[in-house]
């Protein structure tokens, strides 16, 4: 049997995406409380995600949303990592308020955001270890959050992945408004 890399690429990238989700799951968490959610977006759902980025651009006018909406169409998969909101009761003040009780409901717990960052770093390290191109995207995560693809997550980031001769997620030119 001969297996051509081009024929096996999609299956391999799905394997990598699953490994990235495992890396995010097993990343250290504040007080050992697991508030991380993950998912993988593929095929026509990537187009839907791109469309949502464009819709958000029409509301916020941030030009990099245009570039990212087109850019994720080069991805075989997009890994979503988000955090549910949960108070840890540390009264650490990192959120800007002295106690958890003083923190407004819409202000994220800093420990949750740190946990999200560690999970993202762990997932990206896995992608790098498996020699797959990736990039963390705020805009794409915000679109997934808007679509409520990670239920109850208050902050979502996205990591599109690709396996090609040139990383499509770097050296990107800003897109012009059409």
The closest alpha carbon to 18, from 37, 38, 46, 33, belongs to 38
82: CB partners within 8 A, 6+ apart: 36, 37, 38, 116, 141, 144, 145, 150, 153, 154, 155, 156, 157
Q: What is the pLDDT of residues 120-142, one digit of tens each?
A: 999 999 999 999 999 999 999 99
Could you tell me if residue 73 is inside a domain? yes
pLDDT, position 131: 95
Could you tell me if residue 17 is inside a domain? no
Distance of CA 71 to the CA centre of its chain: 14
Could you tell me if residue 174 is inside a domain? no
Report residue 174's pLDDT band, with 50, 70 and 90 as the boundaries: low
Question: For residue 103, what are the domain limits?
Answer: 25-162
- Region at 50 (left for phi over 0; alpha for psi -120 to 50; beta for the rest): alpha
Could you tell me if residue 107 is inside a domain? yes
CA pseudo-torsion sign 28, 30, 33, 34: negative
Q: Is 178 helix (H, G, I), strand (E, B) or coil?
A: coil
Q: What is the pLDDT of residues 47-97, one digit of tens each?
A: 999 999 999 999 999 999 999 999 999 999 999 999 998 888 899 999 999
CATH number of the CATH domain containing 87 = 3.40.109.10
pLDDT, position 164: 87
When divided into structural domains, the chain yields a total of 1
The closest alpha carbon to 176, from 59, 57, 49, 78, belongs to 57
> d(Cα 140, Cα 143) in Å, to the nearest integer?
5
């Amino acid at each position: 049997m001969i297996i051509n890399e081009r024929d096996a690429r999609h299956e391999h990238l799905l394997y990598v995406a699953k490994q990235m989700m495992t890396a995010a799951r097993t990343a250290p968490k504040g007080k050992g409380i697991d508030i991380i959610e993950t998912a993988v977006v593929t095929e026509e759902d990537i187009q839907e995600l791109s469309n949502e980025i464009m819709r958000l651009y029409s509301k916020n006018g941030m030009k990099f949303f245009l570039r990212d909406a087109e850019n994720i169409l080069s991805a075989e998969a997009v890994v979503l990592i988000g955090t549910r909101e949960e108070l840890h009761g540390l009264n650490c003040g990192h959120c800007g308020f002295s106690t958890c009780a003083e923190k407004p409901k819409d202000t994220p717990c800093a420990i949750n955001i740190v946990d999200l960052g560690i999970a993202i770093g762990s997932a990206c390290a896995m992608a790098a270890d498996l020699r797959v191109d990736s990039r963390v995207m705020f805009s794409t995560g915000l679109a997934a959050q808007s679509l409520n693809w990670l239920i109850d997550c208050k902050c979502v980031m996205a990591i599109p992945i690709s396996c090609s001769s040139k990383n499509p997620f770097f050296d990107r030119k800003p897109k012009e408004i059409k």
